[in-house]
Amino acid sequence: MSYVQVTAAQLRTYFYEQVSGNTAFFRTDEVDRILRESFRFYNCLTGYWRDRVDMGFTVAGQTWYTVPAGLTYIMRVEINQRQMDNTTLWDLDYGRPEWEDETAAAGAFPIMFAPAGSNLFALWPTPSSNTDSLFVEGVVPAPDPTAVPFINLGQSDLESILDYAEHLAQFKEGGEEFDASQLWFQDFLKKASSTNALLAHNSRWRKFMGLTDKPKRPLREAPEKVGPR
C-alpha cells in the first residue's frame, strides 16, 4: 500500500478545486466539517485506520470484556500470541446454550471471541487464568484532518474521500448540482466496496448502486389477446 501525506490546508485546496473555488458559499469551518465527516464515513465503510491494543491479561472466570476505548470495533483477537477464531453470540447461544459456563481447562486458552455490539466481546471458553496476554486489533477513529499535522493515505483513497466530500457539499446547492454529485457518491461507494468486499453483499448498498439479483423479466407472461399480433 502506498501513501501520500496531506495536510489540512492541502485538503481544503483540493476540496475548493472541486467546487469551483467557491470560498464564500463554503466557509472554511464548514469545509473542515465536511472533510471530517468524509474521513469518518470512509473509515466506517472500509475500516481504513486500524491499530493494535494491549489489553493486559485475561481475568480468570471473566467471560465478557469491554472493547478498549481507542477502538471503534474489533477485527482480531490474540490470546497468549495465538489468534482466536471469531464467532457470534447467535451461534454460541443456539449452538451451545451453556457456553458461558464452560471454562478453559488448566493450561488451555479460550479459542473463540464473539463481539456484542461495538463495545463488548465475549471469550469462549471462559479463561481460567489471570496470566494470559490479551491483544485486540481493530478499527480506530478516522483522524481529524484539522487536528493533526498531516494524514497518510493512498492517492485513490484520497480521491474517493474528496468525491464524497463534494457530494456532501452539493446537498446545499440542491437541484441539478446535487443530482450530478450522485455519480461521485457512487464512485465513492464503488471504491469502498473494492476495499471492503462485504459491502457488495449488503442489500442496501446493492440497491443504491442499482444492482439486483432479481432477473429482469415480468412475473407472469402477458395474457393472450384476440386480434392481430
Chain residues in the site for another protein (CB under 8 A): 27, 29-30, 33, 37, 40, 64, 66-67, 69, 72, 89, 92-94, 97-101, 116-120, 141, 171-172
**Which residue, 76 or 96, is less far from another protein as judged by CB?**
96
Cα separation of 91 and 93, whole Å? 6
**Which residue, 99 or 184, is less far from another protein as judged by CB?**
99
State the minimum distance, in angstroms, from the CB of residue 186 to another protein: 20
Cα separation of 179 and 133, whole Å? 52
**Which residue, 72 or 87, is less far from another protein as judged by CB?**
72
State the minimum distance, in angstroms, from the CB of residue 119 to another protein: 4
Which residue type does 188 have? F
Give residue for cell 482480531. Answer: 76
Angstrom CA distances, 149 to 9, 158, 178, stand at 10, 16, 32
State the minimum distance, in angstroms, from the CB of residue 182 to another protein: 16
State the minimum distance, in angstroms, from the CB of residue 229 to another protein: 51
**Which residue, 114 or 134, is less far from another protein as judged by CB?**
114
Q: How far apart are the first and last CA of the chain?
A: 61
Which residue type does 80 have? N
State the minimum distance, in angstroms, from the CB of residue 133 to another protein: 23
**Which residue, 28 or 194, is less far from another protein as judged by CB?**
28
For 101, other C-beta atoms within 10 Å of its C-beta total 10
Phi-psi region of 117 (alpha: psi -120 to 50; beta: other; left: phi over 0): left
Give residue for cell 458559499. Answer: 25
CA angle, residues 181, 216, 204, in degrees to nearest 5: 45
State the minimum distance, in angstroms, from the CB of residue 226 to another protein: 50
**Which residue, 140 or 162, is less far from another protein as judged by CB?**
140
Q: Nine-digit cell at 10?
A: 492541502
